Amino acid sequence: MPRLTRPDFTLDPVTLAKSLLGVRLVRKLGGERLVGRIVETEAYCGPDDKAAHSVGWRRTNRTEPMYAKAGTSYVFLTYGMHHCFNVVCGDKNEGLDQPVAILIRALEPLEGIETMRRLRAAPASKNARVRDPKSIRDRDLCSGPAKLCQAMSIDRGVNAVDLVSHRSVWLERIGETPEPVRVINAPRVGVDYAEEWAKRPLRWFVEQSAHVSVRHPNSGGLHPKVEMRRIGV
DNA sequence: CCCGTGATTTAT
DNA sequence: TAAATCACGGGG
C-alpha cells in the first residue's frame, strides 16, 4: 500500500488534521503488522496556540521534534504514565516553517487486533490491575491518544523518527471513500486552560465511528460543525 | 461526577 | 521546590 511521503506531510496543521482521517497508522512489531484507521485528530497550531507545547516558540528537549521536518514523529509522555503520538507538519516554503503537529487521538483497529488486546491488558501503572485481554472490547483498544499508543507499542523509542522512511512506524493511504461521510469539527479535548484557543474547532472525528474517544466533551455550549467529506479508506 | 496514579517539564 | 499537565480505569 502507498506510504505517505514528504509532500503529504508538508501542509498546514488544519489541512493535515483533516486529510489524515481515514489514513492507516502502521506499526511493525516482530514481523507482525499492527494497523489502525485514523478516525480522530487534533491540530496544534504552533507559537500562537496556547494549547500547543510549542507555544511562544518554546523549544526544549521535549518539544525539539516539533522543530524538525514535516513527517517527523513527536511522542511525549503525559500524566507520568501515558504516551501520545503526533505527526509534525508545516511547510518551510509557504511561510509555515513553524513547530506545528497533529495529535492522533483514535484509531479503528484493522490488523493485529489480538496483539493490541494483549498489549492493552497490561497495567499502565504499578497500582493498576492486570486485565483479562478477552474482556477488552474492540472499541476500547484505540479510542484515545494514550490507548492507541499502548495498543501499538508506541513510546519514546519511536520519538523524533522520520515517518517517511522508518522501518517500523509509518502512515498508509489506500484511497478515498466513494461517498462522503459525516465529519464532526469541534473544540479539542483537555485544553480548557488554553483561553481563547480552548474553544477553537481544531478537532475532527468520524461521527459514525465507534472508535472515537470522548463523544461529548465540554465545548462551551458551542455546537460542533458537521462537514460532509470523502476520507481516505 | 470524582479520585489516584505518576514522570517530566517549566515556573517560582 | 512546587505546580501543572494534549489520560485512563475504576468506583460512587
A53 or A126, higher pLDDT: A53
Query: What's the whole-model pTM score?
Result: 0.95
Any strand B atom closer than 7 Å to A184 CB: no
Any strand C atom closer than 7 Å to A147 CB: yes
pLDDT, tens digit, 9 for 90 and up, residues A141-182: 999 999 999 999 999 999 999 999 999 999 999 888 888 999
Chain B bases closer than 7 angstroms to a protein Cβ = 4-11
Nucleotide nearest to A123 (CA to C1'): C9
- At A1 the pLDDT is 73
Any strand B atom closer than 7 Å to A129 CB: no
C-alpha span between A54 and A56 (Å, rounded): 6
Q: Quick one: residue A198, left, alpha or beta (phi over 0 = left, psi -120 to 50 = alpha)? A: alpha
pLDDT, tens digit, 9 for 90 and up, residues A188-215: 999 988 889 999 999 999 999 999 998 8
- At A219 the pLDDT is 62
Nucleotide nearest to A214 (CA to C1'): C7
